[in-house]
Structure 1
């Protein structure tokens, strides 16, 4: 009876979601027909964001993940990280790959890897939903290089935002995974007595593909997935244009200004844009010239925690073939957004007392743009593809050392 009720609920949810998407699509099409020039410019803006920032940030992680899973490297890493992940988040060690790649590659890398782990039966539904909630993080390259350096002209602010973003994400993850799943639901490795090398060889035999076949499949599936993500970004860019042209943004800004003053009115436009798309939303926050620096930073922190409905749609697309639910993911993103914004405001005075930050926001000025700013806006994240892979290796090595310490401590305690 319960299963029947759940099926009815899911069917009703999908029907409503389909109706909303259909109405949105009709409105977007009508707007494109009525305003072709503006729609073309907004779609080009979305394409630029995808090509400069999203594609180079995600492509190497998508390909490496496919290859690493086929070669059994992910399984071996899981065996090494198992003590750390089970102690901290009650997740199997193989989840460490999703956490590390999601932290460095940015959204939606974590969702892609989590979906693959769930499809292969390496995590349960409960574990997959927890992992999906805590692995959806922004890339440090995006926060520090693009937002802080290129958009705001203040790199130190990027470090501040990145620390709070990851700290609040880990805090939400720790709280989120505290309820222990039933013992029968836990996927514990029956190969715990085997070495990571033995586990890797077994995974290779189970996969059975040659390296050439594996490489071709990895490139093909990764590029296909990125094309889908690009389509979502372009669609939401056009949707933001629709909202602007229909006067919804101006009306809400006027209402907010009449209720809470001019600051609220200035925050309304970037708030709405950030609700839909994180990259363009971050730039909108950097251009909110009527806001103090603290509230500007808090808005960006909230945006990074939320991720944007564009990213949410990408996560839905990547997890479509799994039983991972969207509701827990959306709730985790909302909590992450709120906590990050609160921490940004609460710690702003200590941050500025150290000599960082400024009383007024720093905006991107074409006449005084530094070389770093020019590179970030002109080339996006393409120059950082190789360094990001190095950051991934360092992060995995750090996780491994922590897991080794926990394993040694546990062995000494049980003697």
Structure 2
């Protein structure tokens, strides 16, 4: 049944693309430019260096510095603290990729990986500053509050989510060294990390282009129901934020909507996340639910900030 529905949807999409070549071209162009000008130079260096850190077993240097503090706050293992740092600073989908790499490398358990994924896969502070505050909203006074809301909300909800994964344990522990997939340092490792980085960034770009094309096709429709107009921005976060920012919605609703969408990341980011964790046994559905909960809470906090603070 699911296969038949998916097949029918793909056929309809193909027919829609044939009937609207201009929309396809515009969507693909916007997605490609977004990937080439922003995502590629921003994300690729971090993917390569995190690959090297994991492959050469060098993450223990970072774990020694930040591990105890982050373990105390989030109850993660010292190795898991590396995913916390990458997930909050590097942007989508680095939190998911690092958590998956740590599971595959034997650094953390799969349960800890699920917990890390629930709150460590977020929008980067650079994206918040550059695209949301300066380019879209144009209100620098909202910079600090927006960063606090978008980064603080998943931190706050980690205290709730951990109850589903820690169970009766007080905190997660490092895996034994024998379980790790350790590799000797040589230039073959560097080559492997570089190629893995290009494969990852290419997949991310592919999803951005696909979702940008779908978004452009829906926008080209002569009649768009209200529900469709509300759901369209959730397809891809960057284009979605731009749509909300250009809409005629009052700012008191526009700002919480942008904060909520940024916190969720859009379905494109969810697809990228699924791509990153596909070599593990982690299901994408709990992640989507957790991100939606985070988006709702972040939107409420943003709304209250405008009206109370």
Check the 8 A contact 1:277/1:308 in 2, yes or no: yes
Q: Which residue of 2 aligns with 1:208?
A: 184
The Cα shift of 1:316 comes to: 0.6
Check the 8 A contact 2:236/2:266 in 1, yes or no: yes
Any residues of structure 2 matched to 1:37-116 within 5 Å, and which? 37-116=22-101
Deviates more, 1:335-344 or 1:24-33: 24-33
The Cα shift of 1:335 comes to: 0.8
The Cα shift of 1:234 comes to: 0.8
Q: Which of 317, 336, 356 is matched with 2:294 structurally?
A: 336
1:282 aligns with 2:241: yes
1:228 aligns with 2:198: no
Q: Which residue of 2 aligns with 1:252?
A: 226
Check the 8 A contact 1:103/1:139 in 2, yes or no: yes
* Structure 2: distance between partners of 1:346 and 1:157: 13
1:146 aligns with 2:104: no
Check the 8 A contact 1:57/1:106 in 2, yes or no: no
The Cα shift of 1:350 comes to: 4.6
* Structure 2: distance between partners of 1:29 and 1:70: 41
Deviates more, 1:91-100 or 1:312-321: 91-100
The Cα shift of 1:182 comes to: 5.1
How many corresponding residue pairs? 308
Q: Which residue of 1 aligns with 2:256?
A: 298
1:273 aligns with 2:232: yes
TM-superposition CA deviations, 1:6-54 (whole Å, max 9, x none): xxxxxxxxx73x5554333222211221111221111111111112222
1:188 aligns with 2:174: yes
Q: Which of 120, 129, 136 is matched with 2:114 structurally?
A: 129
* Structure 2: distance between partners of 1:24 and 1:155: 42
TM-superposition CA deviations, 1:244-271 (whole Å, max 9, x none): 33456x2226xxxxxxxxxxxxxx63x4
* Structure 1: distance between partners of 2:90 and 2:199: 17
Could you list the runs of 5+ residues in structure 2 that have no partner in the other structure? none
What do you get for the CA RMSD once the two structures are aligned? Answer: 2.5
* Structure 2: distance between partners of 1:111 and 1:236: 19
1:217 aligns with 2:192: yes
Check the 8 A contact 1:115/1:322 in 2, yes or no: yes
* Structure 1: distance between partners of 2:205 and 2:11: 20
**TM-score, normalising length: structure 2:** 0.91
Distance 1:20 1:130, change over 3 A: farther
The Cα shift of 1:173 comes to: 1.3
1:314 aligns with 2:259: no
Check the 8 A contact 1:61/1:105 in 2, yes or no: yes
The Cα shift of 1:167 comes to: 0.9
Check the 8 A contact 2:107/2:175 in 1, yes or no: no
Check the 8 A contact 1:145/1:155 in 2, yes or no: no
Distance 1:20 1:62, change over 3 A: farther
* Structure 1: distance between partners of 2:8 and 2:38: 30
Q: Which has the larger radius of gyration?
A: 1
* Structure 1: distance between partners of 2:292 and 2:47: 26
Check the 8 A contact 2:56/2:184 in 1, yes or no: no
* Structure 2: distance between partners of 1:20 and 1:207: 44
Deviates more, 1:160-169 or 1:52-61: 52-61
3-state DSSP of counterpart to 1:206: coil
The Cα shift of 1:317 comes to: 0.9
Deviates more, 1:143-152 or 1:313-322: 143-152
